Amino acid sequence: MLRKAIFALMLVLSYSLALGNPCPTEYKSDGVTPKPIKLIGDGINPVILTGSQHWVADTVYLLHGWIYVGDGQFLDSGGVNGTLTIDPGTIIKGYPGAGDTASALIITRESKIFAEGTENCPIVFTALSDNVDDPNDHGTTQADRGLWGSLVLLGKAPISTPPENIQQIEGVTPNPRIWYGGHNIEEDPHDNSGVVKYVSLRYGGSILGVANEINGLTMGGIGDGTVIDYVEAYCNNDDGFEWFGGTVNCKHLINAFSDDDGFDWDQGFSGKGQFLFLVADSISNSDHLFEMDSDDPAFTGVGPFSKATMYNFTAIGRGHGNTAVGGKQDFAMKYKEDTGGHLRNGIVVEYSQWAYEFENKSGSCFGNWSDCSICADNDAEKRSRCKSTGTGADLWSGYGNPAYAVQDIDNYSILWWNLGKGMTKAGEVGDSVLSKLNLEMSTAASLYGGTVWPNQLVGDPGIYYGANFRIHGSHALDPRPSASGPAYTTAHPDAHAEDSWFESTPYIGAFSATDNWADKPWTALHQYGYFKQCTSCGDANGDGGIDISDAVFLISYIFSGGTAPADCSGANGMGDANGDGGVDISDAVYLISYIFSGGSAPHCQ
């Protein structure tokens, strides 16, 4: 038996060494020789890539300046497009800079990107100074923001910026290549900008001017033919994700330690999202979980109106007693002009002040259902509950009436915990007690049609964030809720029943009690050691340490019927080194990579 195990170990060891360093890596398979570098741009003149471009994992790409795929003009008007394919494991780095010297990758209207990494081999966009192989490099601080631009996607789905429904994207120096939207006759809600999947965007947000930075992932007029799934914005200097109009649907988004909003929509965005995770730091101006509007007050009353639907989100704010400079993170969810929204099945903890703000510039509309005309034209109260034109008949919107600016706002089945000051601010924007908020909604619904907001609860979801959980290498964060807690017992709508694009879940929040999809090699949060670990996982033979004897033990169990690994604190078995829920040869490979090649440490899911 031992001979068989040793022979199998030799085969696995050979296989593990052949795999080289963890993916992605800046080195060749020998772990010593740096990969060749390809410089794109000179930092002065913009680069326009056309035709078919292919970036491969055995090269590190350096972006110096504004790099465009395509020229952004409509093809039937003489525009030139491009297609950029990026292989799993590819590293793309951006030079530092500000204003016209910033560096970013922009996929223009009519062009496509196919950046499809894998769970174990993602595509990483990061700063020039970031050593991707060293988790002790920039991962040690959230202050490293704005070290380059980031990724911008532009399309021709509908947006709400009259008269032609086109716009130039914010965060980029104005130029002819950055138009988005459909110019009325060209617009296509099913526009396809490609695939962005298993992609980590790190340290972006170059500053172009006062209050003008690049988001982690910017989406301008992106259509629902585009696939956005498993994307992380880590330490960005502005919002993590921002949608400017469009219809794109997104799943498995992570916003970690951004300096502004988590998920921000404008200009008539009407897409869907599911499984969104936000974790804020405690030192920056990290702001709202959701900021929702249709942008420029000059365009109020002009459709399409923003109304996105978001299911299954988990957010950890800056701390319920930790107020920010300049009033940031005063509200978890902020509704502004011309916006509706459906926010359902969420968990929100540790926001410094209140849960909701319904922007009320006149100061007199909240709860006044009899005459919405007293509100200012750019007031969210008027624009979210009342007709876009008219007089005293401008009442609560209800469902399905196209005469109303925004047909409905509703938030279902949201669990709140450790809010600094309560549900809504007293006076200007409503009552501070949750029951009063629901009473207002109930009264409006019964009088004028509309919807009540059921299951707004206050309770402990059982997620874990230990001391210093925002510190690199602390292993003190676990966003999975308790299986016996309110995340599972709270009544909630079935997302899939509303729309087949959504997945049904027996829980609220972004994670189940047993699966942390963010704690995988594709994320910086995983690589930099934020997530909680069970230290005995990987100790297959239970001798108190993790070494080659554990790999031998596993191989003996797998191939020769040896003793099974012991249990690990009620989680997965101690042999489940990679945390995928089973014990097989991949765990032996994982251990050998950890022991001999500096791979990720064993952990429990």
Instruction: State the DSSP string of 376-399.
Output: -TT-HHHHHHSBSS-STT-----S
Q: List C-alpha distances in Å: 431 to 440, 511, 593.
A: 9, 31, 56
pLDDT (0 to 100) of residue 274 = 98
Q: Does the pLDDT value for residue 435 go beyond 60?
A: no
Q: Does the pLDDT value for residue 425 go beyond 60?
A: no
Tens-digit pLDDT profile for residues 80-122: 999 999 999 999 999 999 888 899 999 999 999 999 999 999 9
pLDDT (0 to 100) of residue 587 = 80
pLDDT (0 to 100) of residue 389 = 39
pLDDT (0 to 100) of residue 50 = 98
Here the tokens at position 329 are: 């993170």
Rg (C-alpha) for the chain, rounded Å, is 25
150 pLDDT band, cuts 50/70/90, is: very high
Who has greater pLDDT, 483 or 363?
Answer: 483
What burial letters (b/e) apply to 136-170, b meaning 16+ CB within 10 Å? eebbeebebbbbbbbbbbbbbbbbbbeeebbbbbb
Of all residues in the chain, the percent with pLDDT exceeding 90 is: 45
Here the tokens at position 439 are: 């009473």
Here the tokens at position 138 are: 């920039």
pTM for this entry: 0.83
The arithmetic mean of pLDDT across residues 457-473, rounded, is 87
- Choice among 226-235, 272-281, 511-520, 577-586 with the minimum mean pLDDT: 577-586
pLDDT (0 to 100) of residue 3 = 57
Tens-digit pLDDT profile for residues 204-240: 998 776 667 789 999 999 999 999 999 999 999 888 9
Tens-digit pLDDT profile for residues 17-65: 444 467 999 999 888 999 999 999 999 999 999 999 999 999 999 999 9
pLDDT (0 to 100) of residue 560 = 78
Q: Could you tell me where the beta strands, DSSP code E, fall in 222-325?
A: 227-234, 241-244, 249-256, 263-266, 272-279, 290-292, 306-316
405 pLDDT band, cuts 50/70/90, is: very low
- Choice among 45-54, 186-195, 466-475, 531-540 with the minimum mean pLDDT: 531-540
Taking residue 72's Cβ as centre, other Cβ atoms within 10 Å add up to: 25
Q: Does the pLDDT value for residue 392 go beyond 80?
A: no
pLDDT (0 to 100) of residue 365 = 42
pLDDT (0 to 100) of residue 381 = 39
> 279 with 273: CB under 8 angstroms?
no
Looking at residue 152, the DSSP 8-state letter turns out to be E
Q: Does the pLDDT value for residue 433 go beyond 50?
A: no
CA–CA distance, 449 with 395 (Å, rounded to integer):
9
pLDDT (0 to 100) of residue 328 = 66
Strand partners, 601: none
The arithmetic mean of pLDDT across residues 9-22, rounded, is 52
CA–CA distance, 314 with 348 (Å, rounded to integer):
6
The arithmetic mean of pLDDT across residues 263-275, rounded, is 94
Spatial CA neighbour of 139 closest among 147, 150, 151, 130: 130
Which helix (H) or strand (E) segment holds residue 340: the answer is strand 339-349
pLDDT (0 to 100) of residue 603 = 64
CA–CA distance, 36 with 48 (Å, rounded to integer):
22
Question: Mind giving me the DSSP string for 62-129?
Answer: EE-SEEEES--S-GGGT---EEEEE-TT-EEEE----GGG--EEEE-TT-EEEEE--SSS-EEEEETT
Q: Does the pLDDT value for residue 387 go beyond 60?
A: no
The arithmetic mean of pLDDT across residues 291-306, rounded, is 71
151 pLDDT band, cuts 50/70/90, is: very high
What burial letters (b/e) apply to 534-562, b meaning 16+ CB within 10 Å? bebbbbbbbeeebeeebbbbbbbbbbeeb
410 in helix, strand or coil? strand
Backbone φ, ψ for residue 487 (5° rounding): -60, -30
CA–CA distance, 249 with 497 (Å, rounded to integer):
17
By DSSP bridging, strand 123-127 and strand 194-202 are parallel
Looking at residue 326, the DSSP 8-state letter turns out to be G
Tens-digit pLDDT profile for residues 361-384: 443 344 343 444 444 443 443 444
Spatial CA neighbour of 381 closest among 356, 353, 401, 415: 356
Tally the C-alpha atoms within 13 A of residue 567's C-alpha that lie toward its C-beta.
3
pLDDT (0 to 100) of residue 295 = 67
- Choice among 274-283, 314-323, 480-489, 492-501 with the minimum mean pLDDT: 314-323
Which of 86-90, 160-164, 338-342, 349-353 has maximum average pLDDT? Answer: 86-90
434 pLDDT band, cuts 50/70/90, is: very low
Backbone φ, ψ for residue 234 (5° rounding): -115, 120
Break the chain into its structural domains and give their ranges: 2-31+533-597
pLDDT (0 to 100) of residue 129 = 95
Which helix (H) or strand (E) segment holds residue 349: the answer is strand 339-349
> 167 with 179: CB under 8 angstroms?
yes
Q: Does the pLDDT value for residue 284 go beyond 80?
A: no
Average pLDDT, the chain: 80
Here the tokens at position 279 are: 């974790």
The arithmetic mean of pLDDT across residues 464-478, rounded, is 86
